[in-house]
């Protein structure tokens, strides 16, 4: 078995956790990552939303959805970056694993016995993501809405070439309005 160290800020290893335990989705998570299902994931911080969404994106791509056709929306830039990093990390890992280890990872993720075609698809996904126009589309809700307003300003009733106010300008305008 491969192991992951669980470290705390003090630097001491408290326990060793087998990697595969974290790789196996629960039944509820498996329903949410099923590419055939429509899912809304809402949960408290630290409950595994990013893992579920990452697994769902991976399953969508394994099912044949092109990376450029997937839109992932998050609340924070940090969450978007974390999701992109996790996806890239897993796809990169899949290109280097032995057939046996890749087989186990794909079985854990999908809950099905992977065949040769799925192995090939999994190994090619990393390059597909790199070659996708614009890369993976993982962004904040605010960035997505801003891009829509930029594409359709007249329909949205905003001036073409509008700019979103930064915090400093916003604070200045608030102070001016108070006066």
Backbone angles phi, psi at 115, to 5 degrees: -105, 180
Q: Is the pLDDT of residue 12 over 50?
A: no
- The CB-side HSE value for 169 (13 A sphere, CA atoms) comes to 4
Print the SS3 string covering the chain: CCEEEEECCCCCEEEEEEHHHHHCCCHHHHHHHCCCCCCCCCCCCCCCHHHHHHHHHHHHHHCCCCHHHCEEEECCHHHHHHHHHHHHHHHHHHHHCCHHHHHHHHHHHHCCCCCHHHHHHHHHHHHHHHHCCCCCEEEEHHHHHHHHHHHCHHHHCCCCCCCCCCHHHHHHHHHHHHC
Distance of CA 148 to the CA centre of its chain: 21
More confident residue, 39 or 76: 76
In this predicted structure, what is the pLDDT of residue 70? 92
The CA distance from 78 to 82, in Å, is 6
Joined together, the tokens standing for residue 69 give: 């056709």
Residue-wise pLDDT tens digits, 14-31:
333 344 444 677 778 888
| Lookup: tokens for 178 | 């108070």
pLDDT score for 143: 93
The whole-angstrom separation of Cα 17 and Cα 10 is 18
Q: Strand pairing partners for 4?
A: 17
Give the integer Cα–Cα distance in Å for 42 and 95.
31
Question: pLDDT tens digits for 44-80?
Answer: 777 888 888 899 999 999 999 999 999 998 888 998 9
Least confident piece of the model among 43-52, 116-125, 127-136: 43-52
Top pLDDT among 14 and 162 is at 162
Whether residue 160 is predicted with pLDDT greater than 60 in this model: the reply is: yes
Tokens coding 51 = 């893992």
pLDDT at 167 exceeding the cut of 50: yes
Give the model's pLDDT for residue 37: 83
pLDDT at 123 over 80: yes
């Amino acid at each position: 078995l491969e192991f992951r160290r669980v470290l705390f800020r003090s630097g001491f290893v408290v326990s060793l956790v087998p990697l595969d335990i974290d790789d196996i989705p629960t039944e509820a998570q498996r329903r949410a990552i099923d590419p055939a299902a429509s899912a809304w994931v809402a949960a408290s911080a630290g409950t595994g939303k990013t893992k579920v969404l990452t697994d769902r994106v991976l399953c969508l791509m394994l099912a044949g959805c092109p990376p450029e056709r997937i839109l992932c929306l998050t609340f924070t830039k940090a969450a978007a970056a974390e999701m992109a990093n996790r996806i890239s990390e897993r796809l990169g890992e899949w290109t280097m694993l032995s057939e046996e280890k890749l087989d186990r990872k794909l079985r854990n993720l999908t809950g099905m016995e992977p065949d040769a075609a799925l192995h090939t698809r999994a190994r090619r996904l990393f390059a597909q993501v790199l070659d996708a126009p614009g890369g993976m589309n993982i962004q904040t809700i605010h960035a997505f809405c801003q891009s829509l307003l930029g594409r359709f300003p007249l329909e949205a009733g905003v001036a073409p070439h509008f700019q979103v106010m930064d915090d400093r300008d916003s604070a200045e305008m608030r102070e001016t309005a108070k006066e």
